[in-house]
Amino acid sequence: MHTSTLLRSSPALLLLLGACSGADGAKSAAVAAPIAVTTTQAAERSTPETLPLTGELIASEEAHVSADTNGVVTSVRVQRGQHVNKGDVIATVDARVAQLNAEAASAQRALAEVQLGEAKTQCARAESLHAQGAMATSQYDAAMSQCKAQTEALQAAAANATLAGTSLSKSQVRAPFSGRVGERLVDVGEFIAAAQPVISLYTDEALRVRFSVPERQAGSVAEGQVARFALTSAPDDWRESVVRFVSPALRAPARDLVVEAEVSDVVGLRPGMFARIALEVGQAPHVAVPDAAVHTEGSVSAVYVVREGRAFQTVVRKGASAEGYTAVLTDLAVGDVVVLNPPDTLHDGAPVTATAQAN
């Protein structure tokens, strides 16, 4: 049977083919329908000139707190992450020997005080007898020497008692500043030596971002400059810090300058986190677009540029942002028409109907 005969003899098939043809036509019309967008023009604006760097977050104060005596650890009073105040006891070392030494030194000082008292009495008697001519000069000089020796003996005993008391106090390891415990490095029963770290301690209310500037740009860094930074784990969450500490000299091996900037917003930040840094080193003219024109997915930023009634997605490299505008450092020219707040339905090459918005 010929095809023409089949079509004439199958009205249902004709209806089906017609329905399919209508659906394809409607789909094609829907795909071709322009998308309404709002646009503006890229313009030249003065925006911050930035130096891209890398760095890490550090605590304003951090230390490996050490014992200042030898002995066996009898208690550790802190845990990882615990907050401690300045002067709090962190750990104690066996103080029995130190206690005995302190008691012995105290007794020696008391004995020296008694002996000096007796010597002073003898000296006073010798002075009286010598004045009356009843004591030879040689005997008088010997008595005076004994008084002086007892005075010096008391001073030595007092110094030993103070030293013994200091050693006893060192059996308690105390926090040198308020902060949060990082690592707990000893446990009860361990023997530790003087200068051995017991815990690591970090201030938990103030952070700095530390980074290094290459020698060729070292002259452009000064206190008070703004250093914007974003964590590698949150690349779009830019925060501000202010340069407060600049090394007076370059590091010899790397030929770079170490800089630290104070961080004001520390929410969600921890020492040791790595960051990308944009250090502002001045102002310069750049092609810029409103922040609403730039959309970012992961580490890739792009804008939609409208040409001949269609929107074309263009990957760009972002510069600094200021007053609602972002500098675009690549692939964009003054006068290019860009889409503001691109709708989710917009895609590369899509036809658009544009409503212009003034800059």
Contact 227, 280 (CB under 8 A): yes
What are the tokens at 281?
């080193």
What CATH architecture is 95-169?
Orthogonal Bundle (1.10)
Q: pTM of the prediction?
A: 0.56
CB atoms within 10 A of CB 288: 26
pLDDT of the chain, 359 residues: tens digit per residue: 433 333 333 444 334 444 444 445 444 444 568 999 999 999 998 887 788 899 999 998 999 998 888 888 999 999 999 999 999 999 988 866 666 777 777 888 888 888 878 878 888 887 888 788 778 888 878 878 888 888 888 788 788 777 766 666 677 899 999 999 999 999 999 988 888 899 999 987 789 999 999 998 888 899 998 898 999 888 878 899 999 999 999 998 889 999 999 998 888 898 999 999 988 887 788 899 999 999 888 778 899 999 999 999 999 988 877 788 888 988 789 999 999 999 999 999 999 998 888 76
The confidence score (pLDDT) of residue 166 equals: 63
What are the tokens at 179?
């902060």
The confidence score (pLDDT) of residue 59 equals: 92
Phi, psi of 115 (to 5 degrees): -65, -35
Annotate 134-194 with DSSP letters as a single string. -S-HHHHHHHHHHHHHHHHHHHHHHHHHHHHHHHHHTTEEE-SSSEEEEEE---TT-EE-T
What are the tokens at 16?
């089906």
| DSSP secondary structure letter of residue 34 | P
Q: For tokens 């929107």, name the residue.
A: 311
The confidence score (pLDDT) of residue 167 equals: 63
With 0-12 / 13-18 / 19 or more C-beta atoms within 10 angstroms meaning exposed / middle / buried, residue 179 is buried
CA distances from 6 to 12, 15, 18, 20, 21 (A): 11, 13, 15, 18, 19
List the Cα angle 135/137/142 in 5-degree steps: 95
The confidence score (pLDDT) of residue 29 equals: 45
Residues of each domain in the chain carrying CATH 2.40.420.20: 35-46+285-356
Statement: 35-46+285-356 belongs to CATH 3.60.15.10: no
What are the tokens at 263?
């961080």
Pick the CATH number of 52-60+202-283 from 3.30.70.20, 2.40.30.170, 3.10.105.10, 1.10.10.60: 2.40.30.170
- Tell me which CATH code domain 64-90+171-199 carries: 2.40.50.100
Residues of each domain in the chain carrying CATH 1.10.287: 95-169
Question: What is the rounded CA–CA span in Å between residue 284 and residue 227?
Answer: 16
With 0-12 / 13-18 / 19 or more C-beta atoms within 10 angstroms meaning exposed / middle / buried, residue 311 is buried
Residues of each domain in the chain carrying CATH 2.40.30.170: 52-60+202-283
Strands 62-66 and 197-202, bridge-based pairing: antiparallel
Residues of each domain in the chain carrying CATH 2.40.50.100: 64-90+171-199
